[in-house]
Amino acid sequence: MSDTDGLRYTKIPLNNGSDEIPALGFGTLIPDPIATKEAVKISLEAGFRQFDCAERYRNEEQVGEAMRAVLEEGKVKRKDVFVGTKLWNTNHRPERVKPAFEASLRRLQLDYVDLYCIHTPFAFKPGDEQDPRDENGKVIYDSATTLTDTWKALESLVDEGRCKAIGLSNVSLGQLKEVFEIARLKPAVLQVESQPYLPEWELLDYCKRNGVVMQAFAALGHGMEPKLIDDPVITAIAKRVNKTPAQVLLAWAVQRGTAPLTTSTSTRYIKENFDIATLPDEAMKEISQGIDTRVRLNSVVETGIPGFIPRGT
């Protein structure tokens, strides 16, 4: 295994026919706005060229400021950075999609995004309150809007040219197929939790057969228990190949054809997470076939309610 192999620069073609997504992505779900700015700057400097954002993270403005600062220094060009953001549940009504998208662009200080995804398949009561609740504290859903209605509104954004590709997040295989069937512009990306305890082989197989890139969040296990980075299969491989458990997990994710997302506010971790290298075939097999633990860490997929979110400034 070599430190100078090209795994960290892997790009996966998108089904829009013209673009590629850098496989290794940096996620911006960081609660503190100052830490967000710093982490985005450090990750760009460390080499990350794919960024995952969301209106729900309430920090697109800080992500935008950090990117602008690095781009203005001239070391990185906008065309070399792949930026994706996501439509929140309260904006699923077709007439709310374009204003929500434009607000994200404004906050990010960008003329276009490379990817716009529907954050979850759950439509919440439309409005400015991102977490609408009834008097009993229960989320208020919006049964008047379907996922396919929202999808069609996203297609119009691509037609208008300020969004290069569109995708889905936290949907089931059935929902992905449903959108795929009616779509004039097919989903380019599916963003779901996926890691060795939740490999989602069936979803990945469908994605590969249909030209959809599977973006894998919680690639390092969200920092939650049971700790993936302490898994004995992972730590043994890490020792053998002289890499850290995080680097082993990220290499596995890229080599199996997904685009993993990680997040950190630590300079050391950010640099470490970009410094991946190709795993030998037997290590890939050990992770794919030798780990029996099965755990979903993030329940957003069941309710549309996120596991953890910045509380705002």
Ligand X SMILES: NC(=O)c1ccc[n+]([C@@H]2O[C@H](COP(=O)([O-])OP(=O)(O)OC[C@H]3O[C@@H](n4cnc5c(N)ncnc54)[C@H](OP(=O)(O)O)[C@@H]3O)[C@@H](O)[C@H]2O)c1
Q: Give the nearer residue to ligand X in terms of CB position, either 17 or 54.
A: 54
In which residue are the tokens 């509380």 written?
311
Q: Give the nearer residue to ligand X in terms of CB position, either 89 or 281.
A: 89
Residue range at the interface with ligand X (CB under 6 A); choices 4-12, 27-35, 62-70, 176-184: 27-35
Smallest gap from residue 245 Cβ to ligand X (A): 7
Smallest gap from residue 280 Cβ to ligand X (A): 21
Q: In sequence order, which residues have a C-beta less than 8 Å from that of residue 163 and are 6 or more positions away?
A: 101, 112, 113, 115, 116, 154, 157
Residues annotated catalytic, as ranges: 57
Q: Give the nearer residue to ligand X in terms of CB position, either 169 or 278.
A: 169
d(C-alpha 84, C-alpha 177), whole Å: 22
Handedness of CA 105, 152, 27, 132 (dihedral sign): positive
Taking residues 236 to 265 in sequence order and writing x for each that binds ligand X by CB under 6 A, - otherwise, the string is ----------x--------------xxxxx
Smallest gap from residue 189 Cβ to ligand X (A): 11
Residue range at the interface with ligand X (CB under 6 A); choices 100-108, 132-140, 149-157, 268-276: 268-276
> CA separation (Å) from 252 to 72, 149, 259, 276, 311?
34, 36, 10, 10, 33
- Binding of ligand X by 43 (CB under 6 A): no
Q: Give the nearer residue to ligand X in terms of CB position, either 25 or 184.
A: 25
- Binding of ligand X by 273 (CB under 6 A): yes
Binding residue for ligand X, selected from 7, 29, 251, 283, defined by CB under 6 A? 29
- Binding of ligand X by 310 (CB under 6 A): no
Q: In sequence order, which residues have a C-beta less than 8 Å from that of residue 126 and are 6 or more positions away?
A: 90, 91, 92, 93, 96, 142
Binding residue for ligand X, selected from 112, 141, 180, 269, defined by CB under 6 A? 269
d(C-alpha 207, C-alpha 205), whole Å: 5
Q: Between residue 213 and residue 232, which ones bind ligand X under the rule CB under 6 A?
A: 217-223, 229
Residue range at the interface with ligand X (CB under 6 A); choices 26-34, 64-72, 91-99, 233-241: 26-34
What single DSSP character describes residue 89? G
> CA separation (Å) from 290 to 196, 204, 256?
10, 19, 15
3-state secondary structure at position 212: coil
Taking residues 105 to 144 in sequence order and writing x for each that binds ligand X by CB under 6 A, - otherwise, the string is --------------x-------------------------
d(C-alpha 151, C-alpha 143), whole Å: 16
Q: With helix as H, strand as E and coil as C, how does 37-80 read?
A: HHHHHHHHHHCCCEEECCHHHCCHHHHHHHHHHHHHHCCCCHHH
Instruction: Name the nearest CA neighbour of 273 among 290, 296, 286, 254.
Output: 254
Smallest gap from residue 244 Cβ to ligand X (A): 6
In single-letter form, the type of residue at position 270 comes to I
Smallest gap from residue 74 Cβ to ligand X (A): 27
Residues at the site binding ligand X, with contacts judged by CB under 6 A: 27-29, 52, 119, 169-170, 191, 217-223, 229, 246, 261-266, 269, 272-273, 298, 300
